[in-house]
Chain A
């Protein structure tokens, strides 16, 4: 597994460490879907700070991760899209409709706390 996934309370945190192949991205998707069930997670943070590019495949896979996990009853937030990468995405016309994004891990945790509390569920991971 290329991407370490940490469990923190009700949340899972997937921290991408380097450039990922298409196969690595699909493995991340499948692994998150499985672990949300195993750990009964309410929220997932995917940290993409170290991803070198967000091309059409990466964007599509992140979108499907968020949609799949939503169907499993969990909220996903993508954090750490660097400014250069955001700029290239805009130029390409790539967007993440319906997917929550936040500046960094800290903001992502705040977002998940708000979302999971609003639903009246168990409180956030810390």
Chain B
């Protein structure tokens, strides 16, 4: 039986490692393969680092999802930070505000099956991403 939702508070770079390790553990329980586990862990690492870098603090929630007989994982990265000024621009391939330091959202989107962003200036950002088991 797969465990329910788990949530990791993100405050520092040590929490980035904790979030991706918990995500990998849950994904393994769901039944993802080795290379998929690495991809999920890498996506979580990038999103958790965005929280530390742009918002200072936030959380990553991890949960199994079901659709018919398909199984997957949903990862929700949330912060109450400054928000993303131009979301369309932030989702464009090759775009990064930090001078190419991070991968930005497009890189993470390539790793996952679905990625949705809700961001409000001054209110924070929520990124919901899903990966389905093949």
Contacts and interface: CB of A to CB of B under 8 A. Distances in A.
Contacts of B35: 83-84, 87-88
Contacts of A31: none
Nearest to A23: B13
B31 to A, nearest CB: 16
Nearest to B20: A53
A98 to B, nearest CB: 15
B101 interface: yes
Nearest to A92: B107
Given A84-B35, A91-B39, A56 B14 contact: no
Interface in A99-118: none
A3 interface: no
A27 to B, nearest CB: 12
A60 B42 contact: no
21 contacts: A19-B17, A21-B16, A52-B20, A52-B21, A52-B41, A53-B38, A53-B45, A54-B42, A55-B46, A56-B102, A57-B45, A57-B49, A83-B35, A84-B34, A84-B35, A87-B35, A87-B38, A88-B39, A92-B42, A92-B107, A93-B107
Interface of A: 19-23, 52-57, 60, 82-85, 87-88, 91-94
